[in-house]
A and B are shown apart, each in its own frame.
Chain A
């Protein structure tokens, strides 16, 4: 305020000018609808002019009278609130604006007094101290008001709608591939993908109408050089609020050591929570927090981003460290889907993170999350490889009873049927290792004629998994001593694979060619089964002398007996075998029936003379009926009925 020093007039004439100017300023000051800035200028001008006037009036002696008067007036306005227990902003807008006006006045007086500080006037010094004390009192009060305001309105700012984690991709596979031998795998319940359900929500962390009040406090505190106090108070409350929101999301406060030791089931839950928390904290709260900071601190430059970072940092570090712990953990196959969720979530958020922390101070946060994203990408790849290894190395000591669908097939097929949902991510991650796998999977789909979906990296990886599964199943089939059962086992499992591919999102990635080829494979096993089981049985009924019209009685009897024994043997064995798919079971029975019943009927029809109840143990109808008992998975025997017939 040097200009007012130099502007102190020397002549009486000037005095009139000053008085006139003062008058005009006062008159202008009463005008309503002035902008804040203009009003401030007028108040400043008013103060300067009165100082000049009082200086001239006093002629050195009883100077500062008017300043002191004004100080006293404003002191009353400020001190009166000190004994009051009600918050100013709770009392009403009038009280608040009066108070702010008073603080402005104090600041103006201080500025003016400082401007005149050359005189070393004792009175002036005293007034300056009084004004500074008053300012401190007011600033302290404003800080309290700010905190009170922020805390009071914090509770009401819960977002009205936050989708719950239960609507997320649900947890389907928590068991591990290692533990599932001879245990039925859970069928995958189909899940509703809802990756877009949580877009960016910006919520009012503080109700809209409170923002101008907070801003008015910020303005006056910054103007009085109390910006640091404002920031600390603001950061303190907002930081705590954010941490409370974080706590509500129930993130366990776990050390890396704990996480590395954690059981898979609990870990899976924690991973889900993290994915969820990331979406909520970054997508909702930090976005909203950033907007709040912009609204309140937007005009104060770098303070804005500094405060935002301080508010966010500890919460962010918590999320970051969990991610790091997961990325460094052993990548077991069962983690794959959870890892994919984590990766996708972070990949979606990375742009937001870059935008939120675009300033220099936040580069640290940006960098860390980009690093984490890379780490998670590596983890996904490692888990996928581990999955492949687990599929091909899953070993069994004993044959799977009944030759039905092996749990490994169920596990693998259900598990990979989740992958199409992550198609674009997996394609991105597999891009660099694509050519290796594509050459490994010697399927025509990977050739140049293949369509886009069957030749994408994920498709090739999926088929490499299923071909590992196939070779493992072949290994497992060798555990059966009965060759026919080997075929039943392979037929069942290949059929299951084809069905799973056909009935799921997997279909476009495997393609019709794959389906055709694998249909042919299981049908081959079906035929092989029939050959191995029934050819020798049917052979027993074959006419040894095609020339003659009919067999001798004893030869007929012999053939009948042989057939019965062989049939009963098959019956005894194969009723305990299992074809879980009703359609497949039906088909196999029909074709068996066609072959066996037909041969039996022809055999009996060729020898009508010998057909009597005594030597024929089973009628054609019996055989037809008994064949229906096969592959039901419940062992039966015909020994009882045979004994009955003999007696």
Chain B
């Protein structure tokens, strides 16, 4: 039953009452109001995220500040969700059907989300590295006049930047990354253009076969919209919160370098369009999914807006340094263009400098929040289990 119906449907309420006579009576009105408010807030928040204008760089989809907003909203929704689930009403509800099945599934999803948080935190270290390389490019090219030395310096950093993004691209295969030894000898590297890159290995925090995409796929297991009378009980916020959690993790993984993301765009959210709150999430999912599909073919380190800008400007500037080296010099106009691009590149660098650490800390906050809620839910289940004999 669509969630919108229950708000108005008198029959719906009757059927709830028939099914859950003991659990809901006096508090039921209050609970319905809470649920309604919750889905209203969810839908408002995600509508705001969906309407983020692409042309305003600061708030663009999947920019650092957009992700921070997303996480902020996640934390808000989570707090409300917990309030509904635990502070209201009869605590014993969580041990009765259908929640006795849905809560453990939700907790399972939470644990999976924690691993995603860690993978993404780790991925941010790579982004930090890109930032440092891009900063070298900027400082090389902001000098005037740009000469061969500056161009070479920029080219070297750019080569490292682009190949680093590509290493991450190949799904962070650490085996591949660490294969390259630092101890290269100068033998055989006689070319004038040899590039001792600012190479940095991508360290794995989990086993090699861990896959972010599979992890998120697994989070969608058993995730189905509540049907019938369930749709108006606490099953519905559990479902809503699960969808939000899966979406947030999915978006983070799409944005930030992560281990093994093959098949990320193939992940479907079983969120029916007729659910009001789900519409914006579905919209965002489609939008980001399209982007991912576009990039997946040629490989990408991630859809993080700042990173994409970096990649784009990096390629342009790479062309510039190539032609500089080819011609030995450059026209003033070209030099000005390059300087302008370098100045443009300074922008995402600046935003990374300002935003990456707070983003990382916010992901930790999400991590801790998920842990906390999980602990509280487990305690509540434990408490209920103790105080009442198991229903057989």
Chain A interface (Cβ < 8 Å from any Cβ of B): 82-87, 125, 128-129, 131-137, 139-140, 143-144, 147-148, 150-152, 225, 228-229, 231-233, 235-237, 239-240, 243, 252-258, 260, 310, 313-315, 317-318, 321, 324, 328, 330, 361, 364, 368, 371
Contact = CB atoms under 8 A, between A and B. Distances in A.
Given A253-B206, A254-B206, A228 B135 contact: yes
B136 A229 contact: yes
Given A228-B132, A253-B205, A260-B111, A236 B153 contact: no
A433 B378 CA distance: 22
B185 A136 contact: no
A139 B154 CA distance: 13
Contacts of B208: 253
A239 B139 CA distance: 24
B152 A243 contact: no
A314 B125 contact: yes
Given A133-B152, A253-B206, A364 B139 contact: no
Interface string B203-232: 111111010000000000000000000000
A86 B128 CA distance: 33
Interface of A is mostly: helix
A640 to B, nearest CB: 53
A151 B182 contact: yes
Interface string B127-152: 01100110110010000010111101
A254 B186 CA distance: 38
Closest 5 CB pairs of A and B: A132-B149, A129-B147, A136-B149, A232-B198, A151-B182
Interface stretch (B4-12, B58-66, B289-297, B367-375): B367-375
Contacts of A136: 148-150, 152-153
B132 A231 contact: yes
Contacts of A314: 122, 125, 203, 205
A132 B152 CA distance: 10
B324 to A, nearest CB: 11
B371 A232 contact: no
A321 B116 CA distance: 12
Given A135-B149, A314-B122, A256 B115 contact: yes
A236 B199 contact: yes
A317 B132 contact: no
B312 interface: no
B119 to A, nearest CB: 9
Given A83-B190, A225-B139, A232-B136, A237 B182 contact: yes
A147 B182 contact: yes
A257 B122 contact: no
Contacts of B357: 361, 364
Contacts of A135: 149
Given A228-B132, A240-B178, 10 more contacts: A87-B186, A128-B147, A134-B149, A135-B149, A136-B153, A235-B200, A236-B182, A240-B182, A256-B115, A324-B371
B351 interface: no
B156 interface: yes
B378 to A, nearest CB: 8
A144 to B, nearest CB: 5
Given A136-B149, A364-B360, A257 B182 contact: no
Contacts of B206: 253-255
Contacts of B150: 132, 136
B28 interface: no
Given A253-B204, A321-B118, A364 B198 contact: no
Contact of A243 (B121, B133, B201): B201
B382 to A, nearest CB: 10
B31 to A, nearest CB: 29
21 contacts: A83-B190, A85-B185, A85-B187, A87-B186, A134-B149, A136-B149, A144-B196, A148-B182, A150-B182, A151-B182, A228-B132, A232-B132, A236-B200, A240-B201, A253-B206, A253-B207, A314-B203, A315-B203, A317-B121, A317-B205, A324-B371
B183 A151 contact: yes
Contacts of B371: 324, 328
B183 A256 contact: no
Given A228-B135, A256-B115, A236 B198 contact: yes
B234 interface: no
A101 B378 CA distance: 68
B205 A321 contact: yes
Contact of B133 (A85, A143, A151, A232): A232
Contacts of A133: 147-149, 152
Interface of B: 111-112, 114-115, 118, 121-122, 125, 128-129, 132-133, 135-136, 139, 145, 147-150, 152-153, 156-157, 178, 181-183, 185-187, 190, 192, 196, 198-201, 203-208, 210, 357, 360-361, 364, 367-368, 371, 374-375, 378
B167 to A, nearest CB: 13
Nearest to A360: B357
Interface centre among A136, A233, A253, A361 (most CB of B within 10 A): A136
Contacts of A144: 186, 196
Contacts of B375: 328
Contact of B210 (A143, A232, A255, A361): A255
A195 B364 CA distance: 32
B186 A86 contact: yes
Contacts of A82: 192
Contacts of B196: 140, 143-144, 147
A233 B184 CA distance: 14
Nearest to B329: A129
Contacts of A255: 115, 118, 206-207, 210
A310 B128 contact: yes
A257 B214 CA distance: 13
A125 B112 CA distance: 60
A206 to B, nearest CB: 14
A172 B276 CA distance: 57
Contact of A257 (B115, B132, B190, B368): B115
A140 B189 CA distance: 13
Contacts of B125: 313-314
A134 B210 CA distance: 46
A243 B198 contact: no
A91 to B, nearest CB: 12
Given A256-B114, A257-B115, A313-B125, A132 B148 contact: yes
B22 to A, nearest CB: 30
Nearest to B157: A229
B198 A129 contact: no
Contacts of A330: 378
Nearest to B202: A314
Nearest to B148: A133
Contacts of A237: 182
Interface centre among B153, B178, B187 (most CB of A within 10 A): B153
A328 B374 contact: yes
Contacts of A86: 186
Contacts of B157: 229
B267 to A, nearest CB: 18
Nearest to B153: A136
A371 B365 CA distance: 11
Contacts of A139: 153
A235 B136 CA distance: 15
Contact of A228 (B139, B145, B200): B139
Given A135-B149, A314-B122, A324-B371, A152 B207 contact: no
Nearest to B201: A240
